[in-house]
Structure 1
Amino acid sequence: MLQIERRQYIIDQLNEQGNVHIEQLADDLNVSGMTVRRDLVAMEKEGKLVRSHGGAVLPDRITQEIPYQTKLTQYHEEKESIARKAAEMIPDHAKIMLDSGTTTLEIAKLIKHRSDLVVVTNDVKISMELLYSDLEVITTGGELQKNVGAFLGATVHELLKQIKVDLLFLGAHAIDLHHGFSAPTLEKAHIKKLMLQSATTSWVVADHSKFNKRAFAHVSHLDSIDGVITDQGLSEMNREKFTQDIQLYFA
């Protein structure tokens, strides 16, 4: 197969699957892994892809941090439906953690009438939403991330290391079948990892737009959480693909 044909095949696979892996491409194209690597290096220089560990993704698959006001208006109905499903899963007298995010904010709105829960959060908007509730609310404190509203830094790390909650609702910037969950910064990824360690049960809450994407920093593989609550907008192809590796709940 000619070089131009190989590289077109790689682009076709990226457009179809969202990512490619060197070993699989080498088998498909009947060439060495080194040949595939050289193709990927050249194609990255041309801006056609972004190389990742063991493969590559399309440039627009690398999810960046989105300002809070932008996130607030994106897929709002889907986030509300996900939040309703999540709120139904919270047992009486539970200690729960709400990760920073607009979907978890919708969960906070639905549970603020309750008085039997302890809620831990690293989100200033969620803490303000629960300000006049009867819930026991614990904020991590820390350095406030401007334009996003999340708390960051050593203060957050230390508190998360000292507590244990029954149930975590984790926000997701990106979900990839092979790479798992990822976040736009190393700091965000580290905090999410600590949250997972501090929770007995963990659910990711993410609308369908987060699937088949990757962000900069790896958080965890799919099997490290109990499941994902998402909306009905997830395509049938993605449902079949992801349900082989993870429990999906549809709102």
Structure 2
Amino acid sequence: MENFSTNERRADIIQLINQHNRVTVEELCKRYSLSEVTIRKDLEVLKKRNLLFRVRGGAIKIPTANIDGNDVHIESKRLFHHKQKKAIGKMAATLINENETIIIDSGTTTMEIAKNLHRFQKLTIVTNAIDIALEVSKYNRFDVILLGGYLRGSSLSTVGPLAESVLKVIYCDKLFLGVDSFNIEEGISTPNIEEANINQTMITMAKETIAVFDSSKFNKRSFAFISKVTDLKAVVTDEDTPSHLVADLRNKKIEVYLTPYDR
């Protein structure tokens, strides 16, 4: 391989990721005839510039929602901010009480709530997420209602009039809402308009709405509006959230739970 300057090599790495969506340290070492230490340093620098996302053994392209409203596949989302999501899910589960009827929205952070329900004996769980329904069914003691409707392959969730019609006859204690984009002034939004519609119905049928999301979702706006921030009872997020945003939320009488996580 021809000799690259440091900047040229890093630009080439980004081009490779854009072409193939993923690169490994091993293949980059061979490509540039350099040590793992040098390549890992390159990847860390590019990560800090928000040009790629580090995964074990290499890096992947940062997924972005398309302008037409198509969003990122759930399998890709699982790779991002995993430690934060685990901590958020564990914290959010402490806000549930025995015998409650709860809605768990689709998403990778809400999935972590489903994994932390061991202390409960009786819950009724309503969800539009196939993977979450399967997860909570493993407890073998909860009443699980999986909403029907049109299946969105990217999120493994159901949407549409059928799912919304079932929701409209179920009164729930709490909704745990997964969030793609959160903006204090402009509200909560998502790339998909059908997802926004079913989330709006969930909010209507729940006594309390608790938004669960990592701090990377702050100050973003997506295609389809879901609700105003003031519709929320609480926000569960990670400790990296800027203090001024926490203060803004608390000034609006929204409870904020900041979760530490293993770094």
Q: Which of 103, 106, 115 matches 1:109?
A: 115
Q: Is the partner of 1:69 in helix, strand or coil?
A: helix
Q: Is the 8 A contact 2:74 2:154 kept in 1?
A: yes
Name the aligned partner's letter for residue 244 of structure 1: N
Counterpart of 1:96 in structure 2 is: 102
Q: Which of 232, 257, 261 matches 1:249?
A: 257
Change (3 A) 1:235 1:61: farther
Indicate the structure with greater helix content: 1
Counterpart of 2:56 in structure 1 is: none
Counterpart of 1:52 in structure 2 is: none
Residue-by-residue CA offset, 1:58-86 (whole Å, 9 max, x unaligned) = x9999962111111111111111111111
Name the aligned partner's letter for residue 165 of structure 1: C
Gaps of 5+ in 2: 1-64
Q: Is the 8 A contact 1:96 1:119 kept in 2?
A: yes
Name the aligned partner's letter for residue 120 of structure 2: R
Name the aligned partner's letter for residue 250 of structure 1: L
Counterpart of 1:68 in structure 2 is: 74
How far off is 1:93 after superposition? 0.7
Q: For the residues of structure 2 that align with 1:76 and 1:213, how far apart are their CA atoms?
A: 19
Counterpart of 2:232 in structure 1 is: 225
**TM-score computed with the length of structure 2 as normaliser:** 0.69
Q: Is the 8 A contact 1:62 1:215 kept in 2?
A: no
Q: Is the 8 A contact 2:175 2:210 kept in 1?
A: yes
How far off is 1:235 after superposition? 2.1
Change (3 A) 1:62 1:111: farther
Q: For the residues of structure 1 that align with 2:236 and 2:167, how far apart are their CA atoms?
A: 23
Name the aligned partner's letter for residue 225 of structure 2: H
How far off is 1:128 after superposition? 1.1
Q: Is the 8 A contact 2:88 2:109 kept in 1?
A: yes
Q: Is the 8 A contact 1:174 1:211 kept in 2?
A: yes
Q: Is the 8 A contact 1:171 1:206 kept in 2?
A: yes
How far off is 1:131 after superposition? 2.4
Q: Is the partner of 2:116 in helix, strand or coil?
A: helix
Q: For the residues of structure 2 that align with 1:128 and 1:192, how far apart are their CA atoms?
A: 20
**TM-score computed with the length of structure 1 as normaliser:** 0.72
Q: Is the 8 A contact 1:208 1:231 kept in 2?
A: yes
Q: Which of 185, 198, 209 matches 1:191?
A: 198
Q: For the residues of structure 1 that align with 2:68 and 2:256, how far apart are their CA atoms?
A: 23
Gaps of 5+ in 1: 1-58
Identity of aligned residues (%): 32
- Structure 2 residue 151 is matched with structure 1 residue 144: yes
Number of residue equivalences: 193
RMSD between superposed Cα atoms in Å: 2.1
How far off is 1:113 after superposition? 5.9
Q: For the residues of structure 2 that align with 1:238 and 1:69, how far apart are their CA atoms?
A: 29
Q: Is the partner of 1:212 in helix, strand or coil?
A: coil
How far off is 1:122 after superposition? 0.3
